[in-house]
Structure 1
Amino acid sequence: MQRRSRGINTGLILLFSQICHVGINNIPPVTLATLALNIWFFLNPLKPLIYSCLSVEKCYQQKDWQRLLLSPLHHADDWHLYFNMASMLWKGVHLERRLGSRRFAYVISTFSLLTGVVYLLLQFAVAEFMDEPDYRKSCAVGFSGVLFALKVLNNHYFPGGFVNVLGFPVPNKFACWAELVAIHFFSPGTSFAGHLAGILVGLMYTQGPLKKILEACAGHSGYQDHYPYGRPGSYEAPRNYDMYTAGLSEEEQLERALRASLRDRDEAANAVLTNTEF
């Protein structure tokens, strides 16, 4: 694993700038807590990266299972942190508003653990079937696997529209696969298996049994949804989702989502004032 640079953390400064630009009060609580937790572990890592990264050799063969918990919360450098958390900021605003804070917290926690498990299975399978033992030693850190899983969820709950991948318009439902290939070819140092694991976990939720399993576990634990912006069924989603996705960057989509969120808050506040007048 590469060491973090000891100079000015430009990526961290840009991340704080983006958070301030959005406004802390405009960021839902679970999303904000996730950002804060990742920033905290970047500034105060529990262990050096070599002892927190995830690999088959360290986690499975040497039984160092705590790496499943540590690896998503540690980043190689400030730019790694910035790109992941900037993406988390955008996805969190969308999905936490759609799912509710408690349910979103449940999803984030499960995805953080499950992407690591799927990553280990993928690396183990490649090492075994291709007779490439180096894949057992390949070590990965970062939140990007969880982000790919959240991207699948975002495309599921907000279908339609296109995204720009390397200058080419790609339908939303194929965007995660296009980005997986693009990142692999243009940033070969990134973890292909980690990103693929995130996509597979996202599909397990949207197309497989994971969603029902989580809902069943949540029911047994007495878990109830909390919706800071009202229940998902209580507001009418726009029929044309292109207004959120078509040709827009993540920052532009974030700004539109925030404006919609603030507008809903203002309408709710006005309704309360109207109902309390004598």
Structure 2
Amino acid sequence: MLYRQMMRNRQRGSNLGLLLLASQVFQLGIDNIPPVTLATLGLNVYLFLFPVKPLLQTCLSVREAYWYGDWARLLLSPFHHVDDMHLYFNMASLLWKGIKLERKLGGAWFAYLLSVFSLLTGLVYLLLETGLARMTEDSSYSLQCAVGFSGVLFGLKVVNNHYHPGGATYVMGLAIANRYSCWVELVLIHVMNPGTSFVGHLAGILVGLLYTKGPLKRLMKTCAGFVTSNGHHGGQQTYYNSSGYSGYGMPNPPNAHSGQQSFNRRQYGAPYGDPYDTHMPSAPSQHPYTAGLSDEEQYQAAVRASLSDRGDSAQARSSHATYSHSNPTPEEIRWRRLQRFTS
């Protein structure tokens, strides 16, 4: 019965939702959609057109996942949809939330967040349904099957409200503070469309709260740090700021000193962990001792360091004598120092 209802829904809206979604994507402009958001949208559309399995074999329930051990549903259920309108509303919501969050968190961390939320929302859903079945002694809770990306979207809504506090959302003409909007929408969606999964949406909200108020964010940082610390040292490393991962840079050389790195960040006013660390000027990081010296002293120090790095001791002695006894003017000092750092 459920399968026939799903098939009727899919056939009834065979094109409208996809056309609306395509129209919205082109109105935004593909170039304006961050890559992870665009890839996630593409994956959902692809699996709607070419599903891995029929819907009854991808939806998530306690009976199928826990009793029968079909844990693959945890991965499949968020990315399959009942019909094209179901797909359209979820993907339209993903576009709005994804654009804001991916720009805030960075692509790598946003992809990590989506992966964790997709999996964890399903696990919390199973726990809630199991708890309800035991408290009410009603086994029907173990049979309820959920499918779709909306649970993850409720979690993203909580995270988005956390990173963009304030403001209000208008629900049925009423202004609702963003911090409470997810709870109002949870109730209204279930009242206006009883076929939606109330528990699935609630699971997404709880996962979002675990990230913003609970230990999930710290746990994710710890896991990400453990993976990168055990990875290859020759590749790129990702810098993490308070909002997530963004920016890439090569790892420091083995003999780099943390004191020198801290000095450079303080000197240029960049906060620790700032994603734009990779765009700092390179010369002062090689000559941290120039701060507080006069123009001539800075120039002398730069010359000595340059000649020392080249390992040409004879040339170093000759150049040092030349610059020590020529007594150049301040204008010549500034010009020579400019030549040194631009060569």
Return the TM-score normalized by structure 2: 0.66
Partner letter of residue 121 of structure 1? L
> What does the per-residue CA deviation read over 1:159-207, in whole Å, with 9 as the maximum and x for residues that have no partner?
0011011211100100000100110111100000000000000000000
Residue-by-residue CA offset, 1:213-269 (whole Å, 9 max, x unaligned): 0011111111723359xx99679xxxxxxxxxxxxxxxxxxxxxxxxxxxxxxxxxx
1:9 matched to 2:12: no
Sort the Cα spacing of 1:227 and 1:6 in 2 relative to 1 into closer, same or farther, 3 A: farther
> Are the counterparts in 2 of residues 101 and 227 from structure 1 also a CA contact under 8 Å?
no
Matched, 1:166 2:172: yes
Look up the match of 1:56: 62
Percent of aligned pairs with the same amino acid: 58
Greater Rg by CA: 2
Q: Distance in 1 between matches of 2:14 and 2:69?
A: 36
Structure-2 residue corresponding to 1:22: 28
Partner of 1:180: 186
CA offsets 1:54-102 (integer angstroms, 9 cap, x no match): 0000000000000000000000000000000000000000000000000
Partner of 2:210: 204
Which amino acid is the alignment partner of residue 226 of structure 1?
S
Matching residue within 110, 113, 116 for 1:104: 110
Contact 1:148/1:195 (8 A) holds in 2: yes
Match for 1:179: what amino acid? E
Q: 1:259 is matched with which residue?
A: none
Residues 97 and 227, structure 1, Cα contact 8 Å, conserved in 2: no
Aligned to 1:247: none
> Is residue 139 of structure 2 the alignment partner of residue 133 of structure 1?
yes
Q: Matched residue pairs, number? A: 233
The answer to whether residue 255 in structure 2 is matched with residue 226 in structure 1 is: no
TM-score, length of structure 1 as denominator length: 0.81
Code of the aligned partner of 2:146: A
Q: Flag structure 2 segments of 5+ consecutive residues without an equivalent.
A: 229-236, 239-244, 249-270, 277-343
Decide which of 193, 199, 202 is 1:193's aligned counterpart.
199
Q: Superposition RMSD on alpha carbons, in Å?
A: 1.8
1:163–1:169 Cα contact (<8 Å) kept: yes
Structure 1: gaps (5+ residues): 236-278
Cα distance in 1 between the residues matched to 2:274 and 2:101: 14
> Matched residue of 1:216: which SS?
helix
Match of 1:119 in 2: 125
